[in-house]
Amino acid sequence: MLAANASDRDRQNYQKYLEKLKQLNPDWALIPDRPQPDEADAYLILYQDENYAARHAAYIATRYLNDFCQNLKL
């Protein structure tokens, strides 16, 4: 994740880091994620095997369920 208050240099280094991470780990997927309020950018990193789609779907469902529960007024 990239902090919301990151400098231009931090942003450039972050992009270089992501590219290097993709190069060094071709079996891993870097999936753009929804940043939190204090983040400018975020990625989810998942291993791409036969369970990749199920793990990614479970992550998305968990994220939305968490958002839903946080918005409930009990």
- Write the pLDDT tens digit of every residue in 4-39: 999 999 999 999 999 999 999 999 999 999 898 899
Please state the φ and ψ torsions of residue 45, each to the nearest 5 degrees: -115, 120
- d(Cα 40, Cα 14) in Å, to the nearest integer? 11
Instruction: Provide the token pair at 14.
Output: 């972050």
CA 39 to chain centre: 11
Q: Are 41 and 13 in contact (CB under 8 A)?
A: no
* Triad 7, 10, 16: Cα angle to 5°: 150
Using pLDDT thresholds of 50, 70 and 90, give the confidence band for residue 74: low
What is the pLDDT at residue 67? 86
